[in-house]
């Protein structure tokens, strides 16, 4: 069954999910600190510990979902399906087995299905956040 594509405008003020596996939390926190001034202009949300760390160490206001293994990945996926998230920065750890791996795969699948901006590493996140398109409304 093919999903009908509809035009959607991603607004200038993006709704950004920030997620990181345990071995990548430090990397994501460093990336957020590096881009704090840009991210401060957007609506941020994240899974449990990741959101709490960013809140504590950056002063940014990140809405906290549940921890990933406790359902947070599914909550973020549902928000994507409800078109409440425009972008996801998910620093996942491809070298460590995750107890909630099926949830991670489902989250990545939904992100592709709903055509949201997705960065799974620092280089991609840098390219997205520094693109001139990032600070504009974007019709896709």
In order of 21, 23, 87, 132, the CA distances from 80 in angstroms are 19, 24, 9, 23
> Is the separation of the CB atoms in 110 and 80 below 8 Å?
yes
Catalytic residue among 22, 73, 93, 103: 73
Please tell me whether residue 112 adopts helix, strand or coil conformation.
helix
Active site residue 73: yes
Give the span between the Cα atoms of 50 and 55, in whole angstroms: 9
Residues designated catalytic: 73
């Amino acid at each position: 069954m093919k999903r009908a594509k509809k035009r959607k405008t991603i607004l200038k003020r993006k709704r950004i999910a920030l997620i990181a596996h345990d071995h990548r939390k430090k990397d994501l926190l460093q990336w957020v600190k590096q881009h704090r001034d840009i991210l401060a202009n957007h609506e941020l949300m994240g899974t449990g510990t990741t959101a709490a760390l960013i809140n504590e160490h950056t002063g940014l206001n990140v809405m906290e979902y549940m921890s990933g293994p406790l359902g947070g990945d599914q909550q973020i996926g549902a928000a994507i399906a409800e078109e409440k998230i425009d972008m996801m920065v998910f620093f996942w750890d491809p070298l460590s087995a995750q107890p909630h791996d099926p949830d991670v795969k489902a989250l990545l699948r939904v992100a592709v299905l709903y055509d949201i901006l997705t960065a799974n590493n620092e280089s991609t996140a840098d390219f997205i956040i520094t693109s001139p398109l990032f600070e504009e409304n974007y019709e896709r």
